Chains A and B, each alone.
Chain A
Amino acid sequence: DAGVTQSPTHLIKTRGQQVTLRCSPKSGHDTVSWYQQALGQGPQFIFQYYEEEERQRGNFPDRFSGHQFPNYSSELNVNALLLGDSALYLCASSSVSGASRTDTQYFGPGTRLTVL
């Protein structure tokens, strides 16, 4: 049973560029949440997708956007990158429907984004 997967593992961008990060949820899960973890900090909630719609959003600017596909996988897009966007981006999956319902979020290994 594959867990949550994320790609790429590492990414280096320059200020002003745009980046797309990808996440595939755990088998049987239908909800994807994204978190940003700055160095030495706890993860902070960016947003959550279910049924291809953004359901909740944390305190992040509109430069951060996302998408969920019919197969439940998700993308996180960040435009006009700033130095402060350098962080580990974590994807977590869970399920709100049917027998797989769980309020527990399972995390992927993360994507390390460095903005120069």
Chain B
Amino acid sequence: AQSVTQPDIHITVSEGASLELRCNYSYGATPYLFWYVQSPGQGLQLLLKYFSGDTLVQGIKGFEAEFKRSQSSFNLRKPSVHWSDAAEYFCAVGVHGSSNTGKLIFGQGTTLQVKP
């Protein structure tokens, strides 16, 4: 069965420090992978996605993620965190169909707190 694991429920980093949020997935085929961010009481905003090709993908707000098939991972990174990055981050795998978009399976999320 398809699943997504985000091992870190809560992470605290200092402003200006680097960040890495972990994501591991279980999926039998080549996955579509996504990172979304959610501010309190808001919907989900797409940060970046991986469908195929270059395994290092760039996203908005200075985020990047690397797809590692051998480790079934898709970790999110940012070299220097800003206070405005404090939010909930969700990793998702797209279970795509041949004739439809398919559904997203989400991890539990990682709450990022940024210390001044």
Tell whether A pairs with B. Answer: yes
Asked if A56 and B100 make an inter-chain contact with CB atoms under 8 angstroms apart, the answer reads yes
Check: B67 CB closer than 8 A to any chain A CB: no
A-B contact count (CB 8 A): 72
A45 CA to B46 CA in the complex, in Å? Answer: 17
Taking a contact as CB atoms closer than 8 A, the residue among A44, A45, A50, A107 that contacts B44 in the complex is A107
Check: B74 CB closer than 8 A to any chain A CB: no
Q: How many residues of A contact B (CB 8 A)?
A: 31
Chain B residues within 8 Å of A104, by CB: 34, 46, 49
Chain B residues within 8 Å of A35, by CB: 104
Q: How many residues of B contact A (CB 8 A)?
A: 28
Asked if B42 and A110 make an inter-chain contact with CB atoms under 8 angstroms apart, the answer reads yes
Chain B residues within 8 Å of A106, by CB: 46
A33-B101 contact in complex given A90-B44, A110-B42, C-beta closer than 8 Å = yes
Asked if A56 and B102 make an inter-chain contact with CB atoms under 8 angstroms apart, the answer reads yes
Which B residues from 98 to 116 make CB contacts under 8 A with A? Answer: 99-109
Check: B97 CB closer than 8 A to any chain A CB: yes
Q: Which residues of B contact A (CB under 8 A)?
A: 4, 32, 34, 36, 41-46, 49, 51, 90, 92, 94, 96-97, 99-109
- Given A33-B101, A104-B34; 14 other pairs, CB 8 A cutoff: A4-B43, A41-B109, A42-B92, A42-B109, A43-B104, A48-B100, A48-B101, A50-B101, A55-B100, A56-B103, A90-B43, A106-B46, A109-B42, A109-B43
Q: Which residues of A contact B (CB under 8 A)?
A: 4, 6, 31, 33, 35, 40-45, 48, 50, 55-56, 58, 90, 92, 94-96, 102-110, 112
